[in-house]
Structure 1
Amino acid sequence: MKTKLISIFRPILFLVLGLSLVLACQKINPLDDVDLTVNTDIYQAPILINFLDANVNATILPENISVSISGPGKNLIFDDLGGKNYTVAGNVLSLVLDKDAKPTETNPIKFTVSVTAPGFVSTSQTITISDPTQTLEFTVPLTKVAATPEGTAAKKETLSLTTGQTLTVPATTNKAEVATVTIAPGTQVKDESGNVIPSNTVNTQIVQYGTGSEESLNSFPGSFTPENVTLQSGVSTPGTFVSAGFVAIDMDAGGKKVKSFTKPIDVNVGINSELVNPETDQKVKEGDKIPTWSFESSTGEWKEEGIATVVKGSDGKLTATFKASHLSYWNIDWFYYLPRCRRTFILKVTSNLLTNVVSRNYYAKVYWAPANSNNFRYVYQTYGFNAKNGDLNEYTGLFTPNGSRVQIDVYSRSNNAKIGTTGIFNPCANSQIPITITAPTPPTPILVDVDFTAKCQNKNVNIKPSAWVGLYDPSGSTYYGRYIYGYMRSGKATIVVYEGREYTFGAYYGGKYYSGKVTFNKTGSKIVTSTGTGITGTTSYNASTGRVQVVASYTTNDCK
């Protein structure tokens, strides 16, 4: 399931795009001496993937991120220049859908973005496009091994293959569970091609993710509602996971990455004492059986592997034990898949907020339970929510077994207080769900309407750009709430900002990032680009509508 919130995005920022439009101009070859205005909005379903550190206390964004695209729809996905050079600009990847593709809810286009970054655990995100007219925004948390998020822990050691050895991830103040990996004496390790690596030791890293922390659960690769799951029967299906814990295991030996073993390794994953077995609606107990699943981050595929048995140690704590023949994420999960539905539904907001709001100042949490169960499990957090009275928040790609029970809570990011909740509903049977919001009154925002043009003087061409842009608000209450993204179509954008507040803005185009600063006021807007020159514009304020109008342009003589 892709339980992603598709907000009514208010595209953010625009002005700095003039700097990047030099690249766009190079793609255009108009007739000389003819004054043309060219719209660049020729592709569909613009997609932005925002890579953030899963640790909400992190102050530095992930760097040097590499991605690859796989899956059945990969040939229909391009970078924003229409090529296949999938380059992450800073921490953002911008993609588009082929202009002739025709996805629908019953025949969507699916592809997987695989992610690696130095010092972070590799992961992936499977994306489903069912409506080519929508803009899609995803946030992918990455786990930094040296500073894991709450509810997780990592351990590295060099283990002996000759004598055998155990690596233990100990309990921490926010993760009571323990995980161990044991290598039997005389085990040999193999590379991706199945060749034995001549080595007597193996460098081993385990990252354990507990189930008692939402930060930890947010790091689950893909989501708890995956679309690419292969059962032991060979059937491939989407569905819903209920996790008892998961680990990411990586090894290398002799300078090569380890993929498998001549003898399976023993894996033990501690079970949270409060975890409820969704099949019994009772707490997990000794003797329970839980399916195990491996994850291939290069394809986004989950594969059913076997069964973990819950045992009780001498200390009274529960552990799920199983054998692993190869390396990957290993997930201990109950899985629900048939019968299932794929539905788009909308939350319709009734709110005390009657003026426009900055959606990134609010977020929602999605909880799921099987049919006839009151054991709701956290499965997903959105990174924005439109909380104004009358707003619509659309969820699409929600894969759940028919009859499932879902509840959504909404929070204010300023103090993480709950400000609204839906009733319990079946997403397969409802298309519009009411929610009532009662929120603290935020600062009064202003609406800014932008009309931006890049002027290519040497070719007499005016460019109306389409690209992802973003704002960074350093005064935001939390790490995740400071970043706002949106899409500008053909030079047009409407943004919601707070008056007098300085924003760092950026544009993501052609695998590059361009930035500057801007302050919006009713009487005028101060614009400073990263170079200090190049952008000109006028602003005006309409008191009757409360909107600021900005007409801006950038002139270049470098169009080819």
Structure 2
Amino acid sequence: MKISTKYILLTLITIASAVFYTCNNPFNGIEIITDGNLYGNTPTGVIFINANDKNPTPVGDFTVTISGSNADKVINDIGKKEFKVVGGMLSLALEEGVKPTKSNPIQFHINGELNGYVPVSQTITLDKDSASVYVVKMVQYKNLPEGTAAVVGKNTTLTSGATTAPTTIALPSSASKPEQTNILVETGTQFLNANGAPITGGTLTSNIVQYSPSSEKALEAFPGGLSAQNLVDASGNKLNAGSFVTAGFVAIDMKVGNQAVKQFSKPLKVDMEVSNQIVNPNTGSTIKAGDQIAVWSLDESKGVWKREGNTTIANNGGKLIASFDIPHLSYWSLNFYSENCTQSTKITVNANAGAANRTYTINLLNESGQPVSTSADISHTMTSGANTITLDKLPSYKLKVVLVDKATGEKAAESAYFDPCSNQGVSVTLNAATIDLVNVNLDLTGKCPAKKTTVLPSANASLYRNVNNSKVFVQSIRVENGTGSLKLINNTKYYIEIVYDGRKYSTEFDFNKSDTSLPAKDGLKGKITYNSATNSSVLTAEFNIPNCK
């Protein structure tokens, strides 16, 4: 006999009566099915993946901190205030009764550190009570993505906690990062903690990563995305939310011994080469000598960008150079800043029959080819014909729309550049090629054998595809009360992972149009049943939950 959640109260009353009249164990033979969606509103999944998609080393487990104006309203997937990334996944929700709207959004910030990686900084704004997924690309110092360069573990000898000679740290150019950066540490520089006190020690250790503004892979790791939500000026006054066009950025982490450096007695001197392919949104032309650009720093713990001042682009031997000082540590970036449009923008996708019932991610790119949408997954399932999608608060400079097929991860269509503030919107023609897609329903359960309890989990599952023997992230799947849906390509190898109550469960399988058993691997087991009449499958999987409470 099975009893669902909505009958638990009646069951308990019945059991209480049974206990009163008999000495027998009233739970014998009863399996209780509990709803895994008991905690909170607005389920939010955050997926952390390695930024190097050519060697996507799995991201390990680490603890994060939730801060910001609405941090007190955030809970994890089982209603607790403990926030840990497990297997690259973090499942969050809002406390019961908290429902974000466009007029009353909920905002919070995630920051954390994982050994061997650049620190994580991600601001999330929720403006509707529905499930959402964010993808955060993490840069591993010794496994860099294209478009980056790093100096890792560079040691500088100190005397009485200060440098005794000028030291230049160079981040050289390369084919995927043509811009070079030089950082000068002047003689006599002392290294200070967050309170401004000198740090004593004999060795300075530096980890520095430079990111090219012309590299798609480097830009995917821009902290929080180019949609800038928390901004202040040099005096700390709040600025309106907007968007960046970046001309380059650098992440600097320094330690003396095991103490983090936060400030300097003398500022670091930076000469950053700037690509002449970046379009200045203020002029509509590519950057040239004499253009001014703002210098910004990021408070990683709060997700706040501060406009520190401006620098003027100079021509040095035929190269464009931006020079600026760094008095304290964080990310530092050269960014053009524009406020967002005040009106909504309509995107019309004219889709052929081949695109019907397929889901596409909507990406927005500025004229420099940089992604300006947030790292939130903006997607839409198309119908044949005209599909109207309305987006709010787009940047007030020219953009184009790029549609990416969620099943394949490949670009499917793009628009011309348009002005999102013009009230005219933009149209995209989507002529999708037919691929052998199968609709798959996911049926997931968690088992508590010791207590004869089955949990219908609400969580985020991550789907990966095998591409040239590499595990490539495809999408996140929202599982509600044990059910979800996805589309899989016939004759393709996949990996699926789910995190529940701080533990990761996963399996891998070769998907085709047949009945298949899921290999019992990493705690997730089950089967796939194919229905040729409907060209659909059911993926049934279960995992055991230890220490059920």
Between the aligned partners of 2:70 and 2:123, the Cα distance in structure 1 is: 11
TM-score w.r.t. length of structure 2: 0.83
Q: 1:14: which partner in 2?
A: none
Tell me how far 1:283 sits from its aligned partner.
3.2
Pick which of 450-459 and 88-97 moved more. Answer: 450-459
Q: 2:366: which partner in 1?
A: 368
Q: Which amino acid aligns with 1:88?
A: V
Q: 1:164: which partner in 2?
A: 166
Q: 1:493: which partner in 2?
A: 484
Distance 1:559 1:277, change over 3 A: closer
Contact persistence 1:151–1:215 (CA under 8 A) = yes
Distance 1:111 1:396, change over 3 A: farther
Contact persistence 1:411–1:419 (CA under 8 A) = yes
Q: 1:129: which partner in 2?
A: 126
Q: 2:518: which partner in 1?
A: 527
Between the aligned partners of 1:309 and 1:88, the Cα distance in structure 2 is: 41
Between the aligned partners of 2:135 and 2:291, the Cα distance in structure 1 is: 35
Tell me how far 1:72 sits from its aligned partner.
1.0
Distance 1:202 1:432, change over 3 A: same
Tell me how far 1:500 sits from its aligned partner.
5.2
Contact persistence 1:386–1:393 (CA under 8 A) = no
Between the aligned partners of 1:546 and 1:287, the Cα distance in structure 2 is: 61
Between the aligned partners of 2:475 and 2:332, the Cα distance in structure 1 is: 33
Q: Which amino acid aligns with 1:350?
A: A
Distance 1:551 1:145, change over 3 A: closer
Between the aligned partners of 1:353 and 1:445, the Cα distance in structure 2 is: 11
Between the aligned partners of 1:551 and 1:320, the Cα distance in structure 2 is: 56
Tell me how far 1:51 sits from its aligned partner.
1.2
Distance 1:394 1:130, change over 3 A: farther
Matches within 5 A, 1:189-204: 189-199=191-201, 201-204=203-206
Aligned-pair identity (%):
28
Pick which of 317-326 and 41-50 moved more. Answer: 41-50
Between the aligned partners of 1:489 and 1:406, the Cα distance in structure 2 is: 35
Between the aligned partners of 2:326 and 2:303, the Cα distance in structure 1 is: 19
Between the aligned partners of 2:324 and 2:524, the Cα distance in structure 1 is: 62
Q: Which amino acid aligns with 1:138?
A: Y
Corresponding residue to 1:261 among 256, 264, 273 = 264
Tell me how far 1:486 sits from its aligned partner.
0.7
Corresponding residue to 2:107 among 105, 110, 113 = 110
Between the aligned partners of 1:258 and 1:556, the Cα distance in structure 2 is: 42
Contact persistence 1:366–1:381 (CA under 8 A) = no
Q: Which amino acid aligns with 1:194?
A: G
Q: 2:433: which partner in 1?
A: 440
Between the aligned partners of 2:146 and 2:528, the Cα distance in structure 1 is: 47
SS class of match (2:466):
coil
Distance 1:277 1:119, change over 3 A: same
Corresponding residue to 2:498 among 504, 507, 517 = 507
Q: 2:184: which partner in 1?
A: 182
Matched, 1:271 2:266: no
Between the aligned partners of 1:377 and 1:68, the Cα distance in structure 2 is: 29
SS class of match (1:81):
coil
Corresponding residue to 2:141 among 126, 139, 145 = 145
Contact persistence 1:120–1:144 (CA under 8 A) = yes
Matched, 1:548 2:545: no
Tell me how far 1:59 sits from its aligned partner.
3.3
Q: Which amino acid aligns with 1:73?
A: N
Tell me how far 1:407 sits from its aligned partner.
1.4
Tell me how far 1:438 sits from its aligned partner.
2.1
Contact persistence 2:345–2:425 (CA under 8 A) = no
Matches within 5 A, 1:113-512: 113-132=110-129, 134-156=130-152, 157-159=154-156, 161-199=163-201, 201-233=203-235, 234-313=237-316, 315-337=317-339, 340-341=341-342, 343=344, 348-354=349-355, 356-357=357-358, 359=359, 364-368=362-366, 377-380=370-373, 388-390=382-384, 398-401=393-396, 404-411=397-404, 418-427=411-420, 434-442=427-435, 444-452=436-444, 462-475=454-467, 480=472, 482-499=473-490, 501-512=492-503
Distance 1:277 1:400, change over 3 A: closer
Q: 1:75: which partner in 2?
A: 72
Deviations 1:261-313 (A, max 9, x none): 11222111111132333222333233332111101111111001112232222
Between the aligned partners of 2:96 and 2:356, the Cα distance in structure 1 is: 36
Q: 1:93: which partner in 2?
A: 90
Tell me how far 1:502 sits from its aligned partner.
4.7
Contact persistence 2:84–2:502 (CA under 8 A) = yes
SS class of match (1:493):
strand
Distance 1:478 1:365, change over 3 A: farther
TM-score w.r.t. length of structure 1: 0.81
Q: 2:20: which partner in 1?
A: none
Contact persistence 1:445–1:499 (CA under 8 A) = yes
Q: Which amino acid aligns with 2:187?
A: P
Between the aligned partners of 2:255 and 2:353, the Cα distance in structure 1 is: 56
Contact persistence 1:520–1:526 (CA under 8 A) = no
Between the aligned partners of 1:84 and 1:304, the Cα distance in structure 2 is: 33
Contact persistence 1:202–1:252 (CA under 8 A) = yes
Deviations 1:135-182 (A, max 9, x none): 111111111222322221112433351222211111112222111111
Contact persistence 2:232–2:307 (CA under 8 A) = yes
Between the aligned partners of 1:378 and 1:441, the Cα distance in structure 2 is: 27
Contact persistence 1:363–1:413 (CA under 8 A) = yes
Between the aligned partners of 1:331 and 1:426, the Cα distance in structure 2 is: 25
Tell me how far 1:239 sits from its aligned partner.
0.8
Distance 1:452 1:28, change over 3 A: farther
Distance 1:509 1:343, change over 3 A: farther
Between the aligned partners of 1:77 and 1:123, the Cα distance in structure 2 is: 18
Between the aligned partners of 1:473 and 1:243, the Cα distance in structure 2 is: 32
Distance 1:72 1:349, change over 3 A: farther
Between the aligned partners of 1:204 and 1:73, the Cα distance in structure 2 is: 34
Deviations 1:324-350 (A, max 9, x none): 11111111111112x643758665451
Tell me how far 1:464 sits from its aligned partner.
2.9
Tell me how far 1:109 sits from its aligned partner.
0.1
- Whose RCO is larger (CA < 8 A, sep 6+)? 1
Between the aligned partners of 1:506 and 1:386, the Cα distance in structure 2 is: 23
Tell me how far 1:194 sits from its aligned partner.
1.4
Q: Which amino acid aligns with 2:415?
A: T
Between the aligned partners of 1:218 and 1:201, the Cα distance in structure 2 is: 33
Contact persistence 2:457–2:480 (CA under 8 A) = yes
Between the aligned partners of 1:497 and 1:354, the Cα distance in structure 2 is: 15
Q: Which amino acid aligns with 1:213?
A: S
Contact persistence 1:364–1:381 (CA under 8 A) = no
SS class of match (2:519):
strand
Deviations 1:60-96 (A, max 9, x none): 1222433211111111111111101211111111111
* Coordinate RMSD, CA, aligned: 3.6
Pick which of 406-415 and 262-271 moved more. Answer: 406-415
Between the aligned partners of 1:197 and 1:384, the Cα distance in structure 2 is: 45
Deviations 1:423-450 (A, max 9, x none): 44454566985432123322x2222334
Between the aligned partners of 1:211 and 1:308, the Cα distance in structure 2 is: 17
Tell me how far 1:254 sits from its aligned partner.
3.3
Contact persistence 2:409–2:474 (CA under 8 A) = no
Q: Which amino acid aligns with 2:59?
A: P
SS class of match (1:269):
strand
SS class of match (2:325):
strand
Distance 1:455 1:63, change over 3 A: closer
Tell me how far 1:322 sits from its aligned partner.
1.0
Contact persistence 2:141–2:150 (CA under 8 A) = yes
